[in-house]
Structure 1
């Protein structure tokens, strides 16, 4: 059997395509306050460190802008309602999670998306397979700090050497490293393989089914 007991997943760009809804909510808030909107490509390279950081990168002068808090609040309110307008699992992800679950693996999501949206999307798409879903909260450091991963491990009842992490960015690679576990880098997400290699990624999945094979190939 595999030495791993649990697989911990990033959410955006790994399990779910979410860029369109993030862009739309960001642009709704920006337009409301007379600010220039962002392209899908710009949003793609501004995500990964939580929605506040996304909006800091979208709002002119970021936190120094006196309207920042209002723009950020409008973004959050809009996204709570519209976080699933155009989002959905990547092809092959539901089948992957079913297969992992059927083979006895515990599964978790750890995201820098705020907690309410993380739980809503996890419940909507992965209710029968994901055991734990943790998003950003004020009282715990977000990725790449290991804190949210540690919380997930506690809930799953596993240790770092029993887990493998799956993500699509430098944030995820560093999260896995800081948590003491290997990282499977996916090639369909928000960062290219080259960008992930430059960030230190060494294990790659071209398609969701590869993740199962990688996890299973590590035998005790």
Structure 2
């Protein structure tokens, strides 16, 4: 990883503690429309989190004719409950700390673009870029990272992607973006099962110190090598 210039955050489950309510409502819909036990639907939603809900349904119920309708019901419910979604209380201090380091801040989410825009209005001056799901050609992953590279003139090696789901970790690996796990939805052991070299922060407030430490390590490795064969005493007349 090069020196970090841009920190890319997942939204739901990472900056906003919405995973429990999302999983509960998704499970209710799956029980109602597919006959799945509520507890099974809850766990399956968590397991496939990080994908747009329509894609989650396609994973769980491939080519089912109900998927589009159920996904629409879920997205409507999220819009109706947007005002209940708020950033974790520690996020403001995290953003301030990253700003003090001179870093750019972006959000990359598979929640609908208008939903991500609405929630992100809580920090309009601190978030540089807000990217949500627009269509099948613009979503979290390759399309978002390409956009960030182009518009911020930042290489992927200069980004760090922070997320709470195993799919976030897989996306980062597929897109060759350094990843930092926030193990709330999944344990660090589960993340290590996806990427044995994954690093993590817990609590999320540790991200500022983690980046500072990584930058210090980079600066140390960039220092010029000292020629150990050189001695300041060679050639001096020490006989006097």
TM-score under structure 2 length normalisation: 0.76
Instruction: Say whether 1:92 aligns with 2:90.
Output: yes
Q: Distance between the aligned counterparts of 2:9 and 2:149, measured in 1? A: 12
Q: For the aligned residues, what is the CA RMSD?
A: 2.6
Q: Shift of the alpha carbon at 1:57?
A: 5.5
Change (3 A) 1:71 1:176: closer
Question: Which deviates the most, 101-110 or 125-134?
Answer: 125-134
Q: Distance in 2 between matches of 1:181 and 1:216?
A: 18
Give CA-to-partner distance per residue, 1:173-203, whole Å, 9 cap, x none: 232233333211112x211111001110521
**How do 1:99-178 residues align onto structure 2 when only pairs under 5 Å count?**
99-123=97-121, 125-140=122-137, 142-143=139-140, 145-178=141-174
Which structure would you say has the larger Rg?
A: 2
- Work out the CA distance in 2 between the residues paired with 1:70 and 1:170: 26
* Cα distance in structure 2, aligned partners of 1:57 and 1:7: 29
- 1:51 maps to which residue? 53
Aligned position for 1:21: 21
Structure 2 equivalent of residue 66 of structure 1: 65
- Shift of residue 17 of structure 1? 1.0
Q: How far is the alpha carbon of 1:101 from its aligned partner? A: 1.6
Equivalent position of 1:8 in the other structure = 8
- SS of aligned partner of 2:45: helix
- Say if 1:109 and 1:14 are closer, same or farther in 2 by CA, change over 3 A: same
CA distance in 2, matches of 1:147, 1:67: 28
Deviation at 1:207, TM superposition (A): 1.3
The CA distance in 2 between the partners of 1:81 and 1:165, in whole Å, is 29
Q: 1:68 to 1:175 in 2, by over 3 A?
A: closer
C-alpha displacement at 1:157, in angstroms? Answer: 3.0
Q: Hey, what's the Cα distance between the residues in 1 that align with 2:33 and 2:160?
A: 43
Please say if residues 6 and 105 of structure 2, whose CA atoms lie closer than 8 Å, have aligned partners that are also in contact: yes
Greater mean deviation of Cα atoms: 4-13 or 113-122: 113-122
| Aligned residues of 1:23 and 1:38 also touching (Cα < 8 A) | no
Higher relative contact order (CA 8 A, sep 6+): 1
Q: Is residue 25–residue 82 contact of structure 1 (8 Å, CA) maintained in 2?
A: no
Q: 2:125 & 2:119 partners in 1: Cα distance?
A: 13
| Compared CA separation, residues 210 and 119, structure 1 to 2 (3 A) | same
Q: Does 1:213 align with 2:209?
A: yes
Give the deviation of 1:90 after TM superposition.
Answer: 3.1
- Consecutive unaligned residues of structure 2, counting only runs of 5 or more, are 220-240
Helix, strand or coil at the partner of 2:7: strand
The question of whether the paired residues in 1 share the 8 Å contact of 2:49 and 2:167 is answered with: no
Tell me, what secondary structure is at the counterpart of 2:38? coil
TM-score under structure 1 length normalisation: 0.82
